[in-house]
């Protein structure tokens, strides 16, 4: 058994930022456990630029953004264990992990930060009929083959899902000489940034087919084509619109799911919408001393926000270790009328900080208001020119507002169209 003050599970942007923040706050013994061979998480394969505009004020590629934190980490006495997989987190915050050099590791930690990130939704979850040959992969898997391994995952590509990863891969494959036939999107709008639609699709004349999905795959050994169809308002395919598109590769970019197997095994309940643990304003879960941040908590659109959130969790963990973290009566938060969820799900009434409530909306709105209410009163109302599901929003609640709310009250956030 090795003793640490803080064990951070995951060495991507979230884990690194949380560990660094705790270290800044004077926590001495910190260990970061990373399952890959290097720190940086998924950023290592995101070689496009667009990272860091908010946090660093400049446009970096994924590895560059990660590189800055890796460098900072090297200058601390934080212990980093790569190629190390955490298998279990016990009730007393003992972390069990394995790697090739230490074998089975038992780490006793005062606090734990969960920063495992998320994974891509696979084909199975979509119920696409047809054959199951090679050539069907998630956009992230394809990204790794191209950017890390240096192999072409396909020559004629159809992409399902217009989230940013799908759009980025459309450009990436085109630049490497593949023909990207189209990007299909089930919803009537794209989940990606406008900039990516312009620079990844329009620049290369790649059609974006909205309200369209892939209904079947064809080809016994390697994919030979897909059948696409328009969908109706209930998102059900319209058979008469079916169309065959020859291709050797189908890339799926159909959503991300927080990777919470460890959290579930540790007995944490997950938010039905975010699929992440329920947390307070310092990202402490329902389990004392266990914090969560980054994409394991909620899927973020920008890594800059991951960093920001993870610093909150790192600070929270540091306060917890020092015995300074407030933990008492809480008020709840709730998203209604177009607001799908809120993180954090609860706030300590006597909190020592102003709190940003993060959320996403369920549809596209123009010239709408975000209204925050509690105890029958409007706390604040904010006009927004545009709200869309692809982008995370937040409202800031002052700590004295929170302190004045009665016990058991709930802050609601809603969209007023």
Partner 1 sequence: MEKRELVCVACPLGCGITVTLGDGGEVLEVTGNTCKRGDAYARSECTAPTRSLTTTVRVEGGKAYVVPVKSAGPVPKGMMFDCMKVINQASVKAPVKIGDVVIKNVLGTGVDIVATNNAE
Partner 2 sequence: MTYDVAVVGAGVVGGLIARELSRFNISVALLEKCNDVAMGTTKANSAIVHGGFDAQNGTLKAELNVKGTALMPKVCEKLHVPFKNNGSLVVAFSDSEMEHIKVLFDRGIKNGVPGLSVIDRDELRRIEPNISEKAVGALLCESAGIVCPYELTIAAVENAVTNGVEFIRNCEVEAIEQGEAYTLKTTAGDITAKFVINAAGNFSDKLASMVGDNSIDLVPRKGEYYLLDKSVGNLAVHTIFQCPNEMGKGILVTPTVDGNLLIGPTAKNIEDKSDTTTTPEGLAEIVEKALKSVPIVSQRNAITSFAGVRAHPVCDDFIIGWCEKSEHFLNVAGVESPGLSAAPAIAVYVREILSEKLNLTEKSSYTETREAPVRFRHMNDEERAELIKKNSAYGRIVCRCETITEGEIIDAIKAPAGARDVDGVKRRTRAGMGRCQGGFCGSKVVEILSRELGVPMNEITKFGGESKIIYERTK
Binding site for partner 2 (CB under 8 A): 35, 83, 85, 87, 96, 98-104, 106, 119-120, 122-125, 127, 129-134, 137-138, 140-141, 144-146, 149-155, 176, 215-216, 218, 220-222, 237, 259, 261
Work out which of 42, 388, 411, 413 binds partner 1, going by CB under 8 A. Answer: 388
Cα separation, 232 vs 363, in Å, equals 16
* Helical segments of 254-299, H only: 261-265
Residue 170 near residue 182, CB atoms below 8 Å: no
Q: How far is the CB of 68 from partner 1 (least distance, A)?
A: 9
Q: How far is the CB of 254 from partner 2 (least distance, A)?
A: 11
Quickly count: other Cβ atoms within 10 Å of residue 204's Cβ: 14
44 makes contact, choosing from partner 1, partner 2, none, with CB < 5 to 8 Å by partner type, with partner 1
Beta-bridge partner residues of 258: 118
Strands 249-252 and 156-160: parallel
Q: How far is the CB of 406 from partner 1 (least distance, A)?
A: 37
According to DSSP, residue 231 is labeled B
Q: Name residues contacting partner 1, limited to 162-221 (CB under 8 A).
A: 172, 175-176, 193-195, 197-199, 203
Quickly count: other Cβ atoms within 10 Å of residue 156's Cβ: 18
Work out which of 48, 81, 349, 414 binds partner 1, going by CB under 8 A. Answer: 48
Nearer to partner 2 (CB atom), residue 262 or residue 405: 262
203 makes contact, choosing from partner 2, partner 1, none, with CB < 5 to 8 Å by partner type, with partner 1
Interface map 124-153 toward partner 1 (x if CB under 8 A): ----------------------xxxxx---
Unique residue bearing structure tokens 């995951």: 10
Q: How far is the CB of 297 from partner 1 (least distance, A)?
A: 22
Question: What's the per-residue H, E or C state across 65-91?
Answer: HHHHHHHHHHCCCCEEECCCEEEEECC
Question: Could you give the C-alpha distances from 344 to 269, 297, 331, in angstroms and in order?
Answer: 14, 10, 11
59 is an interface residue for partner 1 by CB under 8 A: yes
Q: How far is the CB of 263 from partner 2 (least distance, A)?
A: 14
300 is an interface residue for partner 1 by CB under 8 A: no
Cα separation, 312 vs 56, in Å, equals 17
Nearer to partner 1 (CB atom), residue 194 or residue 375: 194
Nearer to partner 1 (CB atom), residue 106 or residue 386: 386
Nearer to partner 1 (CB atom), residue 111 or residue 388: 388
Unique residue bearing structure tokens 């973020």: 300
Cα separation, 264 vs 286, in Å, equals 12
Q: How far is the CB of 76 from partner 1 (least distance, A)?
A: 19
Nearer to partner 2 (CB atom), residue 237 or residue 316: 237
| Nearest alpha carbon to residue 316 among 339, 300, 338, 297 | 297
Residue 322 near residue 282, CB atoms below 8 Å: no
Binding residues with partner 1: total (CB under 8 A): 29
Q: Is 77 exposed, middle or buried (0-12, 13-18, 19+ CB in 10 A)?
A: exposed
* Helical segments of 25-149, H only: 62-74, 139-144
Work out which of 25, 29, 36, 63 binds partner 1, going by CB under 8 A. Answer: 63
> Which parts of this chain interact with partner 1 (CB under 8 A)?
44, 47-49, 59-61, 63-64, 67, 146-150, 172, 175-176, 193-195, 197-199, 203, 385-386, 388, 391
């Amino acid at each position: 058994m090795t003793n640490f003050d803080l064990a951070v599970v995951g060495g991507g942007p979230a884990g690194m930022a949380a560990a660094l923040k705790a270290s800044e706050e004077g926590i001495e013994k910190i260990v970061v456990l990373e399952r890959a061979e290097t720190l940086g998480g998924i950023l290592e394969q995101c070689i496009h630029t667009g990272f860091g505009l908010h946090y660093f004020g400049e446009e970096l590629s994924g590895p560059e953004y990660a590189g800055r934190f890796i460098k900072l980490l090297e200058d601390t006495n934080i212990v980093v264990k790569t190629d190390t997989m955490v298998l279990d987190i016990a009730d007393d915050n003992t972390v069990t992990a394995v790697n090739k050099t230490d074998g089975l590791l038992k780490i006793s930690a005062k606090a734990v930060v969960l920063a495992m990130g998320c994974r891509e939704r696979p084909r199975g979850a979509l119920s696409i009929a047809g054959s199951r040959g090679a050539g069907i992969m998630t956009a992230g898997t394809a990204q790794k083959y191209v950017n890390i391994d240096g192999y072409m995952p396909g020559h004629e590509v159809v992409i399902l899902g217009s989230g940013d990863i799908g759009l980025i891969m459309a450009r990436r494959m085109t630049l490497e000489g593949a023909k990207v036939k189209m990007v299909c999107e089930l919803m009537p709008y794209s989940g990606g940034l406008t900039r990516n639609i312009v620079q990844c699709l329009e620049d290369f004349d790649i059609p974006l087919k909205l309200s369209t999905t892939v209904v079947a795959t064809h080809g016994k050994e390697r994919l030979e084509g897909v059948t696409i169809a328009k969908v109706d308002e209930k998102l059900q395919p319209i058979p008469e619109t079916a169309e065959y598109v020859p291709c050797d590769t189908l890339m799926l970019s159909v959503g991300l799911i927080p990777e919470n197997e460890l959290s579930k095994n540790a007995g944490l309940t997950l938010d039905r919408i975010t699929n992440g643990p329920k947390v307070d304003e310092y990202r402490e879960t329902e389990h004392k001393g266990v914090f969560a941040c980054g994409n394991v908590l909620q899927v973020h659109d920008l890594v800059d926000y991951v960093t920001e959130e993870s610093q909150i969790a790192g600070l929270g963990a540091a306060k917890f270790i020092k015995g300074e973290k407030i933990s008492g009566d809480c008020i709840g938060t709730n998203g209604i009328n177009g607001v799908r969820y809120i993180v954090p799900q609860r706030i300590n009434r006597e909190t020592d900080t102003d709190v940003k409530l993060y959320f996403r909306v369920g549809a596209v709105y123009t010239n709408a208001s975000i209204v925050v209410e509690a105890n029958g009163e409007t706390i604040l109302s904010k006009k927004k020119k545009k709200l869309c599901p692809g982008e995370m929003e937040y409202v800031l609640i002052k700590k004295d507002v929170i302190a004045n709310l009665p016990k058991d009250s709930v802050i609601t956030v809603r969209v007023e169209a």
